Each structure stands twice: as C-alpha cells, then as structure tokens.
C-alpha cells in the first residue's frame, strides 16, 4: 500500500511542478514580448551602410493574396537588395504574377529560377537551391510566399544581425483577415505559439521557424550550403541548430511575420498543426510526454487532481480558476503581439480560444498515431532525428 501512495504523491508533485513551470513560461512570454516586440527602428549611422540582402522566395500554385503579398517586397525601404523567385513547375500560375511585378518595379533587381534541383527529399530546398547558388549577397532572407512585409521589416531584421548573430527570424503571426478560421489562426499564433516561441528565445533555446529567416550565407557555406539540409523536412530547425552548435546566436526580429495566405479554412489550418506536431515528435521524442501536458485543459485537470492530493483543495474550483487565469493571460499576450486593435471582438476570442484549446490535444493524438507527413501532393515518413524519406506514390498516400 505504501509504494502506491508514494507513487500517487510522486505524480502529484510532478504535475504541480510542471504546472508552475507553465505559469513561469506565461510570465516570461508576456514580459519578454512587451520588451522585445514592436520596437521602433533605429537607423544605422551613415559610416556603417546597410549590407546587401538576397531575398529567396519559393513559390508554388495560385493564391488570391499572392500579388499583394509579393508586391510588399518590391516596396520596402531598404537601400540594396535583390529578389530571387523560385518556381518548380514552368506551368505554375505564379510565374505570370512574378513577371508582372518585375515589369511594374524595374528599379528592384529580381530574377526568376524555374525548375528547381534535386539535392534531397525536401521540396522547399530543392526549389530554392538554384536561387541560393546564384545569390549575390552574404545575407540571405528566405521568405515563404504567404508572408507580407512592412516597409521597414527588412531594416528591422538587419538591425538585429549583430556581429555574433548568425540568424534573425520573425516570430510567426498572421495578418488581419475576416472569418472564424482567420480568428482561430490569430488566436493560436498569438497565444500558444507565441508563448513557447518568446519564452524559448528569451532563454536561448532553438525555436526557429523558417517562414521568414535572415541568415549569413558564409556560415551556411561552411556546412556545405543549403543542400546539406535537404534530407530534413524541418530544415529550419536543423539550420538553426547547426548555427548554434558553431557558437552563433539566433534572435527574433521585433516585428512578427505576417502570414497572409488566401487559403484560410479550419481543415487546412488543423492539417498544418498536425504536420508540425509530427515533425516535433520525430525530432524531439520527449515531446510525446511534455507537449500534451503544456495544453491548458490537460495540465489544468492533472494539477486539479494533484492539488486535491497534496493540499486537499477542491479540484473543480481549482480547474475553473486555472482556465480563467490562463484565458486572461492569453488575452494579454495576444494584445502584446498584435500591438493594435484586434480584428474581432471578445466573444469571437472566447469561441476561438476554447475551440483551439479543446482541439489541441486531439490533433496531437492524431499526429502520434499517423506519423506520415502529407505536404501538398507528396507524402513522407520520418525517422527518429527528423531525417525524411519520400513515400510512393507521390499523389495519393
């Protein structure tokens, strides 16, 4: 009987300590986000001119917002940069959009690379390889097709590229759009995602996502170039890891990345979250244990039970107070990341937040029991450590 009691108390202590750690992450994210995000740009003195930047834009398929998203790269206030568009299929509809923009903004150096290469299983790296090899500058900005840029975003990122910094990346967020799916995306990226992202960056843990990343090409070349990471689907994580292993720092820009895909629906968004969860499980197996516990509803229930065992507190009251305070902290964090009026009211936030928090554990379970990765019309399987292998056939899986 005694061993069973000790086991129960052991689990209760573990859950309570983990719960306290999650609240510490909340506080770190809120205070670090307030300190780090949305700082006004300061110009580099004239004797230190801005370095040139090669912007690599991998494109695939049509998107209702593609034209407006790409145009923001032609209108940035930055003295010297080039845009290198990468398109795998010569019949891709994005080609016409790109050439129209090049004709409209002839003062901006831009090139188009069609066909891609075969340097690994990662379709994104295969698509970008030719452009990477042809890039003119030491600073490389890899930017996904759905990203919008403000006029001073590139300047802000370069300002964070200090002598000891090898990578500057933008924290994922979303543009203001209409509809429940857009609300759900903004709630997720402004709460659950930003909480872990900001806390990880504050304590210098690799949290890098590659949707908008500025990096030093010379450091990448020391490791064999971009093609070295073609064996991974989560190439962004392993690129950042390789930089950090060599003593380089990574930093987030003060401006979050504004995702603005024209395809915005709940199914696509949840499929994206499930795919990311599969990648995390393959790269860091301990995620299977700790990620579900980081969810509000799960850790609240576990700690409610733990509090009743350790302190004889009423578990239901504890659970409800836990959810309320977590909800309020998420509202504060989202407001900090947004830095302006939210495009939805408080009721929409409540619905979106509850939907996200209740569906999160379910999506993670799906990811664990179906480890195959579906990416556009291709399907991959992952080995431990994150190395990917493409499965056949390519269209159906």
Q: Tens digits of per-residue pLDDT, 279-328?
A: 888 887 777 889 999 999 999 999 999 999 999 999 999 999 999 999 99
Residue 7 pLDDT grade (very low, low, confident, very high; cuts 50, 70, 90): confident
Contacts for 149 with CB less than 8 Å, ≥ 6 apart: 72, 73, 76, 143, 258
Residues 366 and 282 in one domain: yes
pLDDT given at position 43? 46
pLDDT digits (tens, 9 = 90+) for 334-372: 999 999 999 999 999 999 999 999 999 999 999 888 878
Nearest alpha-carbon partner for 273 in 206, 355, 344, 189 = 189
Residues 112 and 249 in one domain: yes
CA of 78: how far to CAs of 93, 153, 156, 201, in Å? Answer: 29, 9, 10, 26
pLDDT given at position 64? 92
Taking 80 as the threshold, does the pLDDT of residue 6 lie above it?
Answer: no
Residues 221 and 312 in one domain: no
Order of all β-strands in the sheet with 81-87: 110-114, 81-87, 53-59, 139-143, 212-216, 165-169, 249-252
**Residue 350 neighbours by CB distance under 10 Å:** 13
Active site (annotated) includes residue 156:
no
CATH number at residue 106: 3.90.550.10
Does any domain span residue 182? no
Does any domain span residue 185? no
Does any domain span residue 163? yes
User: Which residue, of 200, 235, 264, is where some domain finishes?
Assistant: 264
* Cα(386)–Cα(287) distance, integer angstroms: 13
Catalytic entry in 144, 156, 201, 236? 236
Question: What percentage of the chain reaches a pLDDT higher than 90?
Answer: 80
Taking 60 as the threshold, does the pLDDT of residue 31 lie above it?
Answer: yes
Residues 122 and 234 in one domain: yes
Q: How many domains, in total, are found in the chain? A: 2
pTM of the shown model: 0.93
User: Which residue, of 264, 298, 326, is where some domain finishes?
Assistant: 264
Q: How far is CA 62 from the centre of its chain?
A: 22
Nearest alpha-carbon partner for 149 in 56, 259, 58 = 259
Residues 66 and 118 in one domain: yes
In this structure, are strands 172-174 and 165-169 parallel, antiparallel, or unpaired?
A: unpaired
Taking 90 as the threshold, does the pLDDT of residue 390 lie above it?
Answer: no
pLDDT digits (tens, 9 = 90+) for 50-79: 999 999 999 998 899 999 999 999 999 999
Residues 122 and 148 in one domain: yes
Residues 241 and 385 in one domain: no
User: Which residue, of 264, 279, 296, is where some domain finishes?
Assistant: 264
Helices and strands, number each (H, E), in the chain: 14, 13
Does any domain span residue 136? yes
Cβ–Cβ under 8 Å, residues 110 and 102: yes
Alpha helices in 224-345 (DSSP H): 235-245, 266-283, 287-293, 296-311, 315-338
Does any domain span residue 283? yes
Average pLDDT over residues 212-238: 95
Does any domain span residue 226? yes
Residues 217 and 321 in one domain: no
Does any domain span residue 188? no
Residues 113 and 251 in one domain: yes
Does any domain span residue 138? yes
Q: What are phi and psi of 56, to 5 degrees?
A: -100, 120
- The boundaries of the domain holding residue 150 are 41-170+211-264
Residues 78 and 221 in one domain: yes
Q: How far is CA 272 from the centre of its chain?
A: 11
Q: What are phi and psi of 216, to 5 degrees?
A: -85, 120
Residues 103 and 157 in one domain: yes
Tokens of 248: 């380089």
* Cα(244)–Cα(203) distance, integer angstroms: 13
Residues 240 and 274 in one domain: no
């Amino acid at each position: 009987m005694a061993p069973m009691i000790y086991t129960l108390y052991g689990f209760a202590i573990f859950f309570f300590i983990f719960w306290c750690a999650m609240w510490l992450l909340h506080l770190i994210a809120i205070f670090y986000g307030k300190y780090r995000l949305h700082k006004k740009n300061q110009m580099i003195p004239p004797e230190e001119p801005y370095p040139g930047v090669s912007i690599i834009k991998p494109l695939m398929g049509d998107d209702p917002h593609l034209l407006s998203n790409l145009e923001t790269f032609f209108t940035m206030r930055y003295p010297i940069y080039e845009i290198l568009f990468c398109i795998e299929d010569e019949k891709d509809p994005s080609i016409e959009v790109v050439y129209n923009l090049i004709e409209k903004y002839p003062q901006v150096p831009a090139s188009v690379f069609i066909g891609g290469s075969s340097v690994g299983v990662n379709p994104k790296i295969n698509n970008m390889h030719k452009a990477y090899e042809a890039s003119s500058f030491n600073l490389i900005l890899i930017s996904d097709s759905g990203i919008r840029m403000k006029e001073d975003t590139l300047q802000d990122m370069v300002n964070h590229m200090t002598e000891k910094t090898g990578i500057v990346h933008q924290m994922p967020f979303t543009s203001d759009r209409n509809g429940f799916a857009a609300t759900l995306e903004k709630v997720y990226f402004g709460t659950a995602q930003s909480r872990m992202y900001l806390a990880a960056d504050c304590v210098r843990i690799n949290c890098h996502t590659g949707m908008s990343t500025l990096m030093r090409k010379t450091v990448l070349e020391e490791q064999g170039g971009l093609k070295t990471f073609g064996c991974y689907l989560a190439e962004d994580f392993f690129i950042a890891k390789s930089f950090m292993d060599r003593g380089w720092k990574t930093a987030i820009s003060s401006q979050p990345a504004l995702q603005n895909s024209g395809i915005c629906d709940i199914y696509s968004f949840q499929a994206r979250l499930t795919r990311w969860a599969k990648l995390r499980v393959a790269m860091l197996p301990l995620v299977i244990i700790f990620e579900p516990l980081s969810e509000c509803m799960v850790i609240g229930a576990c700690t409610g039970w733990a509090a009743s065992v350790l302190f004889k507190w009423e578990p239901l009251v504890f659970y409800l107070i836990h959810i309320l305070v977590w909800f309020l902290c998420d509202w504060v964090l989202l407001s900090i990341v947004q830095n302006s009026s939210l495009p939805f009211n408080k009721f929409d936030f409540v619905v979106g937040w509850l939907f996200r928090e209740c569906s999160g554990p379910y999506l993670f379970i799906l990811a664990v029991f179906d480890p195959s990765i579906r990416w556009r019309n291709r399907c991959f399987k992952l080995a431990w450590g994150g190395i990917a292998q493409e499965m056949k056939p390519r269209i159906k899986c």
